[in-house]
Amino acid sequence: MESSKNIKPLPERGSACEGNFYPETNSGSDPGMNLRIQQLRKLSVNAGHTLSIERALHETTFYKENYGKHSIPVLRALNFLDHCKKKTLYLGDDELIVGERGPQPKAVPTFPELTCHSIDDLHILNTRDQQRYTISQKDIDTYAKEVIPYWQGKTIRERIFSHVPQEWQAAYAAGLFTEFMEQRAPGHTALDGKIYRIGMLDFKKQIATEMTALDYLNDPEATDKAEELKAMDISCDAVIVFAERHAELADKLAGQENNPQRIADLKKIAETCRWVPANAPRTFHEAIQMYWFVHLGTITELNGWDAMNPGHFDQHLAPFYEAEIAAGTLTREEAKELLCCFWIKVNNHPAPPKVGITARESGTYNDFTNINIGGITSDGKNGVSEVSYIMLEVVEELHILQPGNSVHISSKTPDRFLHAACKVIRQGHGYPSLFNPDTYVVELMRQGKSLRDAREGGCSGCIEVGAFGKEAYILTGYLNVPKILEITLNNGIDPVSGKMVGIKTGNPLEFKNYEELYTAFNKQLNFIIDTKIRVSNYIDRMFAKYAPAPFLSVVIEDCISKGKDYYDGGPRYNTNYIQCTGLGTVTDSLSTLKKHVFEDQTFSMKQILDAVAKNFAGEEFLRQTIINKTPFFGNDDDNADDIALQIYQDLLTAIDGKPNIKGESFHLNMLSTTCHIYFGKVTGATPNGRFAGKSISDGTSPSHGADTHGPSAVIRSLTKLDHTMSGGTLLNQRFLPSLLKRDEDIAKLGQLVRSYFTLGGHHIQFNIVDTATLHAAQENPEDYKDLLVRMAGYSDYFNDMNADLQQEVIERTENEAF
Amino acid sequence: MQQPLIFDIKRYAINDGPGIRITIFFKGCPLSCTWCHNPESISAKPQKMYNKSKCIGCGECVKACPNQACTLSSDGIITDPKHCNLSGKCAEVCPTLATEISGYYQTIPELLKIIEKERPLFDQSGGGVTFSGGEPLLYPDYLSEILDLCDEGKIHRTIDTCGFVKTDILLGIAKQTDLFLYDLKLLDSDKHKAYTGVSNELILSNLVALAESGANIQVRIPLIKGVNSDLKNIAATASFITKLAGEKKSVNLLPYHAIATHKYQKLGANYLADNLQEPDDMNLRQAIDCFTAHNLLTIVGG
């Protein structure tokens, strides 16, 4: 790059997609394509997570002065505008893409209107071992004095908990499900391409047109719509002001700067912030900054669950890239540098801290921004561009926690792209994950999306899909399906607490056959799901009325034309999801009872239930027999897979199509994120031989280590489920590096993915096993029964090897010398 | 028809021919190579295998054995071969799979069904089925029948052979086979006999005949330091392969791994190959250079 004299570039290298990787340790510096990126990355990675009370202070002052003077949407918008005018800005050295939600990287605001942290909460956050957010005693004192007294009793969270019925409370406390919205606003939003075509000033014009067209004589909702539209208009001003303040700051810093290169950077930043988001972007740089301001706006306005996603970011940026490359105003390196800056910006924004059960089930800083790479365009063409390849390089080089990333492999996606993605997977960072548009387009259309809108959809966050820019898809919480079996086997009682949390479905010792057992399970399942949906609908309405999101509504299709908020049915599509977790664990448990109690009579129901009740103490023969001699899900064995199929079908029947408050419906997906760990902790031992407290299976993956017939058996088991009936399934697969040694092996990994997707799979993710995992496998062999060591002419299970040979494999893995 | 025993079926096999494959391992081999990675493949009969590290000492097998062949000792289960008649009762009750019987029969329709399950992967990768062992050509009738059925199903067929079989059987099966992985261990016949139990004349002449028949062949060479990695053997091997009829052959070098020893322990057999060594980088480099100099496409691994 000609413009980077003060930057020491790394030795020249080909692109990652051509297979030219270098290990981090060999670069002699932090990862990153040049000094700027190295420094920005280092700052981001090393920054401590802190709590900022600034937003809460602004908001509390604003509410004290203004509450009651305006409609709720207008109050919310004015509150947002007030904060954008006052908030401390951050513009760091080396930055090209600017703007932070907090006063510095990884400083996270609180949202007391939703959940007001107590003094105890703040102390815990400040001192706990994991996911710590530090805060000074002075700030805690201020919070105690200024913020907490005002919000006490008024937060959405307190109002929810004062309302919900007893049976919900009992089931929730037992860990049968979680509730996303009890302390964060419904989120999971991804954008389409409109913000690259029109700016905030254009949105304001659209809003003005709709205001003029309101029919106060015939439309009973006209007044409400007027207030919502007014709020949207104010929130457009808020982000324009926010950007303008950055322009002023950049100009000021340029005046104090001596380095001519940095002065030029700062002037460019000022110019960019004066143009976007007010106007549609004209350049690659402006396009990225445009998205970033919109992103910041939505996550500052409210604490939406799981941040915000740019959707098909490569497809949105490709026209700018191609035009500028052709015009000679941008080089590939400059484009990549800007993308690196963006990536690091996302990494600067951890999830706001949670409290209570929600903190237990979501133990991560990740706020789940997921960049969709590749896939298909809204008119059904291959969406891969040079920008997609650059993004893969950025992913591979930076390897930071956020943003997440996924590659989308349709039948139209070139093998070259799949291969490049598999090479990044080979690096063993656990990403990118792979998605199948050919399946999820059908999923979305089955739910009623148009073909075009479905094609523009993709994944936001983990594995759930939606119509980008046009849908509110509210994830309402996880369902602990194995726990439902646990209470079935205790006639509705939670054996962990001894409390009644379900309904009476009969004494399991009196079940005469498997069908009676299954029927009882299905009754509990329906009861728990109905209990959850009832409260989710109530919470949904609370947000629609008391915590609307006018800024988010501006950028989601049809909110302006309907004059309705994102949370109030404004978007073109409005879906609610329940995420079902632990299919593998519950299938294997039912399979155990079916085979050993009802078919072979190896053990009686009483024997197994007694063993489960005492967490298998002294029952190693029984437990080992179950683990090793039961058909388990993930081995292409119909004896187990048919059970999984029936559970999946009954989950669908119980959830799919249940009405939500917006005249649309609930659907299921099979997501777990990190919740399978929390659910495992609150679930006693299960009949499949799993000990109490251990994780349940994730997503639709087989139970840990239960899949002993290799990946082809796993994908066949998984695709016996009709993925198009869900809003997403999840499959994690472990691979030893020895399976991915040669280029040819990497191609075969791609072919495995193609096979899975041809069979209708929705998502697959590969974790390349490292030596730490192998050590863990030595400690807990049962959880790693699937680890297969392969070389030409020889293969064996890692667990079957003696300690010396395991050590040998570990050393080979370390040296990647298979 | 002589029914083969199968001792293993590997799905997602990526080292046994083109694409993603399923590999069927037949039990029984005319050779007994010192370095054999799959010692249970040598005997054509069922064998009891016992993995001490998995045994929880529950003693159920002792109770279950109809012939009182098992005893529980401080060193795990000891099986008295004089009394064991391979009833399999011990494996049936063993909760941890520490005791297993290696070798089971599979009817041809059942085996075909298992192979068919992998079809989506064959379609995507250009893979297919590989018959390995042991020595699959010990069971020509069974093999011939399943090969024909695979052909009807348009499934690519590979046979991994040691070459020590009757020539007419080999050439007969060749008509039904898409690719041979042909093992070539040592060119010196005496050494061959010392390490594998048989001399190599038949193996070499079969390879010549197979090449003349127009079969598609990849030559596989397990590379073992101190046995066959010396330049003399490599050069002789390369020169031999170069002279084979038909299209130029490619060569797969399979560096020896001292990693199969526990399988010998499971069989209660002694591992005779303690003195064998893995080839070092220089051995490998030399071999690759030599084959490449003979214009042979050389691949390390699969």
Chain B residues closer than 8 Å to A790 by CB: 14-15
List CB contacts of A544: < 8 A, sequence separation 6 or more. Answer: A565, A567, A568, A569, A661
Question: How confident is the prediction for chain B on average, in pLDDT?
Answer: 93
Long-range contacts of B277-285 (CB under 8 A, 24+ apart): B277/B224, B277/B225, B277/B226, B278/B224, B278/B225, B279/B223, B279/B224, B279/B225, B279/B229, B279/B255, B280/B225, B283/B223, B283/B225, B283/B229, B284/B223, B284/B253, B284/B255
What pLDDT is attached to residue A479? 97
Instruction: List the single residue in A with minimal CA-CA distance to B96.
Output: A624
Domain locations in chain A?
A: 45-164+192-466, 165-190+469-699
The DSSP bridge pattern shows strands B156-161 and B128-132 to be: parallel
Report how far Cα B62 is from the mean position of its chain's Cα atoms: 33
Task: Please state the rounded mean pLDDT for residues A36-58.
Answer: 95
Give the model's confidence band at A17: pLDDT under 50 very low, under 70 low, under 90 confident, else very high: very low
Cα dihedral A298/A300/A303/A306 (nearest 10): 50
Q: Give the residue among A252, A114, A286 at the shortest CA–CA distance from A187.
A: A114
Contact B20 A751 (CB under 8 A): yes
Superfamily of domain B6-43+105-300: Aldolase class I (3.20.20.70)
Contact A113, A92 (CB under 8 A): no
How much is the average pLDDT of A368-377?
95
User: Looking at residues A767-785, what average pLDDT do you find?
Assistant: 82
The single residue listed with the structure tokens 């009682």 is A493
A204-255 pLDDT, tens digit per residue, is 999 999 999 999 999 999 999 999 999 999 999 999 999 999 999 999 999 9
* Domain topology for B47-102: Alpha-Beta Plaits (3.30.70)
Stretch A363-382: mean pLDDT = 91
Say if residue B200's pLDDT is above 90. Answer: yes
Angstrom distance (rounded) from CA A635 to CA A700 = 13
Taking residues A45-69, report their average pLDDT.
Answer: 96
Q: Is residue A138 exposed (0-12), middle (13-18) or buried (19+ Cβ within 10 Å)?
A: exposed
The per-residue pLDDT for range A97-134, each reduced to its tens digit, is 999 999 999 999 999 999 999 999 899 889 887 788 99
Rounded to 10 degrees, the C-alpha dihedral A797/A799/A801/A803 comes to 150
A179 is catalytic: no
Instruction: Please give the average per-residue pLDDT across A189-198, as a whole number.
Output: 96
Q: Residue A23 pLDDT more than 50?
A: no
Query: Over 60: is that where the pLDDT of A816 sits?
Result: no
Instruction: Characterize the bridge pairing of strands A107-109 and A433-435.
Output: unpaired
Pinpoint the residues of chain B covered by CATH 3.30.70.20.
47-102
The ipTM (two decimal places) reads 0.93
Runs of H (alpha helix) within chain B? 60-64, 89-93, 108-116, 119-125, 140-152, 167-174, 189-196, 201-212, 231-242, 261-267, 281-293
Strand A308-309, strand A189-190: pairing: parallel
**B239 band by pLDDT with thresholds 50, 70 and 90:** very high
The mean pLDDT value for A504-509 works out to 98
Delimit the CATH 3.20.20.70 region(s) of chain B. Answer: 6-43+105-300
Q: For chain A, give the percent of residues with pLDDT over 70.
A: 93
Q: Under an 8 A CB cutoff, do A796 and B12 touch?
A: no
Could you tell me the CA-to-CA distances from B292 to A113, A652, B11, B182, B227 in Å, in that order?
A: 73, 60, 32, 19, 21
Smallest CA-to-CA distance from A802 within B140, B23, B196, B53 is with B53
Q: Which of B109-118, B171-180, B275-284 has the lowest mean pLDDT?
A: B275-284
User: Quick one: how far is CA B245 from the chain centroid?
Assistant: 26
Q: Which residues contact A177 (CB under 8 A, 6 or more apart)?
A: A171, A477, A478, A479, A480, A528, A532, A578
- Per-residue pLDDT, averaged over B54-59, amounts to 94
Instruction: State the Cα–Cα distance between residues A305 and A290, nearest whole angstrom.
Output: 22
CA dihedral A152, A157, A162, A165 (to 10 degrees): -170
d(CA A203, CA A140): 40
Please, which pLDDT band fits residue B191 given cuts at 50, 70 and 90?
very high
What's the CA dihedral at A685, A690, A696, A702 to 10 degrees? -150
Cβ within 8 Å, pair B20-A748: yes
Q: Is the pLDDT of residue A642 over 90?
A: yes
pLDDT tens string A417-458: 999 999 999 887 778 999 999 999 999 999 999 999 999 999
Task: Answer whether B15 sits within 8 Å of A628, measured CB to CB.
Answer: no
Could you say which of A116, A462, A559, A580 is catalytic?
A: A462
Q: How confident is the model at residue A787 (pLDDT cuts 50, 70, 90)?
A: confident
Per-residue pLDDT band at B272 (split at 50, 70, 90): low
Question: Is-above-0.80 flag for pTM?
Answer: yes
Of A437, A444, A464, A378, give the one whose Cα is nearest residue A728.
A464
Q: Verify whether the Cβ–Cβ distance B263 to A805 is below 8 Å.
A: no
Is the Cβ pair A752, B20 closer than 8 Å?
A: yes
Distance from the B122 Cα atom to the nearest Cα atom in chain A, whole angstroms = 9
The Cα of A801 is separated from the nearest Cα of chain B by a number of Å equal to 7
pLDDT tens per residue across span A739-756? 887 889 999 999 999 999
Task: Report whether pLDDT(B263) > 80.
Answer: no
Q: Is the pLDDT of residue B48 over 60?
A: yes
| Sign of the Cα pseudo-torsion (A776, A782, A787, A790, in order) | positive
User: Residue A470 has what pLDDT?
Assistant: 97
The reply to whether residue A758 touches residue B124, judged by beta carbons under 8 angstroms, is yes
Is the model's pLDDT at A25 over the cut of 70?
Answer: no
* A496/A499 Cα distance (integer angstroms): 8
pLDDT in tens, A280-290: 999 999 999 99
pLDDT value at residue A7: 33
Look over chain A and give the mean of its residue pLDDT values, rounded to a whole number: 91
**DSSP category for residue A354:** P
Angle between helices A156-163 and A514-546 (to 10 degrees): 140
More confident residue, A476 or B260: A476
If pLDDT is split at 50, 70 and 90, which confidence band does A18 have? very low
> What residues in chain A have their Cβ under 8 A from chain B's Cβ atoms?
620-625, 628-629, 636, 709-713, 715-716, 739, 741-742, 744-745, 748, 751-752, 754-755, 758-759, 789-796, 799-803, 805, 808-809
Measured CA distances, A744 to A422, A592, A688, A751, B19 (Å): 11, 40, 38, 10, 9
Q: What is the mean pLDDT of residues B260-285?
A: 79
What pLDDT is stored for residue A267 in this prediction?
A: 98
pLDDT at B87 over 90: yes
- Angstroms from A636 CA to nearest CA on chain B: 9
Q: Is the pLDDT of residue A792 over 50?
A: no
Contact residues on chain B for A623, CB-CB shorter than 8 A: 95
| Chain-chain contact of B12 with A741 (C-beta, under 8 angstroms) | no
Residues of chain A in contact with residue B55, where contact means CB-CB under 8 angstroms, are: none
**Type of residue at A674:** T
Residues of chain A with C-beta less than 8 angstroms from the C-beta of B56: 620-621, 624
Does residue A6 carry a pLDDT above 50? Answer: no
| Chain A nearest CA to B48, separation (Å) | 15
**One-character DSSP codes across A607-656:** HHHHHHHTTTTT-HHHHHHHHHSS--TTSS-HHHHHHHHHHHHHHHHHHT
Closest CA to A336 of A402, A261, A392: A392
CATH number of A45-164+192-466: 3.20.70.20
Question: Average pLDDT for residues A473-496, to the nearest whole number?
Answer: 96
Instruction: Write down how long chain A is.
Output: 818
The C-alpha of B52 sits at a distance from chain A's nearest C-alpha, in angstroms, of 9
